[in-house]
Chain A
Amino acid sequence: MTLAANPPRNTPWSRTISVLRDVMSRPSGAIGLFLVAFHVVLAIVSPWIVPHDYKAMNSAMMLTGPDAAHWLGTDHLGRDVFSRVLLGGREALLVTGIATPIAVTWGGFGGILFGLIGGRVDEVLMRVVDAFLSLPWILKMLVLIVTFGTGIEVLIPTLAFFYGIPVIRIARAATHDVVARDFVSAARARGHSRLTIIRRELLPNVLDTLMVEGAMRWSWMLLAFSSLSFLGFGVSPPTPDWGLMIADARGFMSFAPWGVLGPVIALSSLIIGINLTADALAKALGIDRAQKAPV
Chain B
Amino acid sequence: MSAPLIEIRDISVGFTGKSGATLPVLRNIDLTVKAGESIGIVGESGSGKSTLALAAMGYLKRGLRLLEGSVAFQGQDMFARTRTELEKIRGGELALIPQNSGQSLTPTLRIGAQLIEALRLHSDVPQAEFSAKAIELLGQVRLPDPAAIMTRFPHELSGGQQQRAAIAMALAGEPTALLLDEPTTGLDVTTQAHILELLRDIARNRDMAMVYVSHDLGAIARVCDRVVVMYAGEVVLDGSTRQVLKAPVHPYARGLLASIPRLSDPRLPVALDGRPPAPGGAGQGCSFVDRCALAQEQCRSRRPVLERLPSGESVRCFRHEHAEDLSLTGSGAIPAKLDSDAVPALRLDDVAIRYNRPRLLDKLLGRDSASVATVDGIEITVAKGETLGLVGESGSGKSTILKAVAGLLPPSDGRITVAGGEALAPEVEQRSPDHLRRIQLIFQNPDDSLNPRQTIAQILEQPLKLYFGLSGDALHQRSAEILERVRLGAHYLDRLPSQLSGGEKQRVAIARAFAADPDLVLCDEVTSALDVSVQAAVLDLLNDLKSTQGTTYVFVSHDLAVVRALSDRVAVLYQGRLCELGPSADVYATPSHPYTEVLLGAVLEPDPDTAPTLSADDVVELSPPVRGCPFQRRCPRKIGPICDTDAPPWRYRADGHGIRCHHTIEDLETVQRKDVAERCA
Contact = CB atoms under 8 A, between A and B. Distances in A.
A25 B443 CA distance: 36
B433 interface: yes
Given A200-B454, A204-B453, A182 B443 contact: yes
- Tell which of A181, A182, A185, A208 has the most Cβ of chain B within 10 Å: A182
Contact of B428 (A191, A201, A294): A191
Nearest to B524: A182
A9 B449 CA distance: 22
Interface in B401-450: 406-408, 428, 431, 433, 436-437, 439-441, 443-445, 448-450
A190 B516 contact: yes
A2 interface: yes
Contact of A192 (B407, B441, B466): B466
B462 A10 contact: no
Contact of A10 (B103, B440, B495, B516): B495
B408 A189 contact: yes
A190 B436 contact: yes
A7 interface: yes
A189 B407 contact: yes
Nearest to B433: A191
A191 B436 contact: yes
A8 interface: yes
List 3 tightest A-B contacts by C-beta distance, closest first: A191-B436, A2-B278, A182-B449
A294 B100 CA distance: 10
Main SS class of interface, B: loop
Nearest to B62: A295
B277 A10 contact: no
B449 A186 contact: yes
17 contacts: A1-B278, A8-B494, A10-B494, A181-B448, A182-B443, A182-B444, A182-B449, A185-B443, A186-B443, A186-B512, A189-B406, A190-B466, A191-B466, A200-B451, A200-B454, A204-B451, A205-B453
A293 to B, nearest CB: 9
Contacts of B492: 7
Given A2-B281, A189-B428, A204-B454, 12 more contacts: A3-B495, A6-B491, A7-B494, A10-B455, A10-B494, A10-B495, A183-B450, A186-B449, A190-B466, A192-B462, A200-B451, A294-B103
A192 B428 CA distance: 9
A1 B104 CA distance: 28
Contacts of B491: 6-7
Given A192-B462, A192-B466, A186 B441 contact: yes
B292 interface: no
B441 A189 contact: yes
A250 interface: no
Interface string A201-219: 1001100100000000000
Contact of A182 (B61, B277, B445, B516): B445
B466 A7 contact: no
A3 B462 contact: no
A289 interface: no
Nearest to B496: A10
Interface string B513-527: 000100000000000
A104 to B, nearest CB: 19
B107 to A, nearest CB: 12
Contact of B451 (A1, A6, A191, A201): A201
Contacts of A179: none
Given A186-B441, A189-B428, A3 B100 contact: no
Interface string B450-479: 111111000000110010000000000000
Nearest to A22: B18
Given A10-B455, A192-B462, A295-B61, A182 B448 contact: yes
Contacts of A295: 61-62
Contacts of A8: 494-495, 499
Nearest to B46: A1
Nearest to B450: A183
A254 B251 CA distance: 79
A182 to B, nearest CB: 4
A191 B431 contact: yes
A261 B79 CA distance: 47
A228 to B, nearest CB: 38
Interface in A255-295: 286, 294-295
A187 interface: yes
Nearest to B455: A10
Interface string A166-201: 000000000000000111011111111000000011
Interface string B89-112: 000000000101001100000000
A277 to B, nearest CB: 20
Interface string B64-98: 00000000000000000000000000000000001
Contacts of B495: 3, 7-8, 10
B408 A188 contact: yes
A8 B512 CA distance: 21
A5 to B, nearest CB: 9
B519 to A, nearest CB: 15
A245 B491 CA distance: 59
Nearest to A14: B494
- Tell which of A6, A190, A192, A208 has the most Cβ of chain B within 10 Å: A190
Nearest to A293: B103
Nearest to B458: A200
A40 B104 CA distance: 47
Given A2-B277, A189-B407, A190-B516, A7 B462 contact: no
A183 B433 contact: no
- Tell which of A10, A187, A294 has the most Cβ of chain B within 10 Å: A10
B106 to A, nearest CB: 13
A61 B104 CA distance: 67
Interface in A1-31: 1-3, 6-10, 25
Nearest to A184: B451
B411 to A, nearest CB: 15
Contacts of B98: 294
Contacts of B428: 188-189, 191
Contacts of A7: 491-492, 494-495, 499
A191 B441 CA distance: 12
A204 to B, nearest CB: 4
A201 B406 CA distance: 19
Contacts of A3: 495, 499
A23 to B, nearest CB: 14
Contacts of B448: 181-183
Interface string B235-260: 00000000000000000000000000
A188 to B, nearest CB: 6
Nearest to B439: A189
A6 B491 CA distance: 8
Nearest to B18: A25
B398 to A, nearest CB: 15
A186 B428 CA distance: 11
B103 to A, nearest CB: 5
A231 B495 CA distance: 53
B258 to A, nearest CB: 25
- Tell which of A25, A186, A188, A295 has the most Cβ of chain B within 10 Å: A186
Contacts of A183: 448-451
Contacts of A10: 455, 494-496
A6 to B, nearest CB: 8
A78 B180 CA distance: 73
Given A2-B278, A10-B494, A10-B496, A190 B407 contact: no
Contacts of A189: 406-408, 428, 436, 439-441
A275 to B, nearest CB: 22
Interface in A94-126: none
A182 B441 CA distance: 10
B437 to A, nearest CB: 8
A186 B454 CA distance: 14
A196 to B, nearest CB: 8
Contact of B494 (A9, A182, A185, A192): A9
Contacts of A191: 428, 431, 433, 436-437, 466
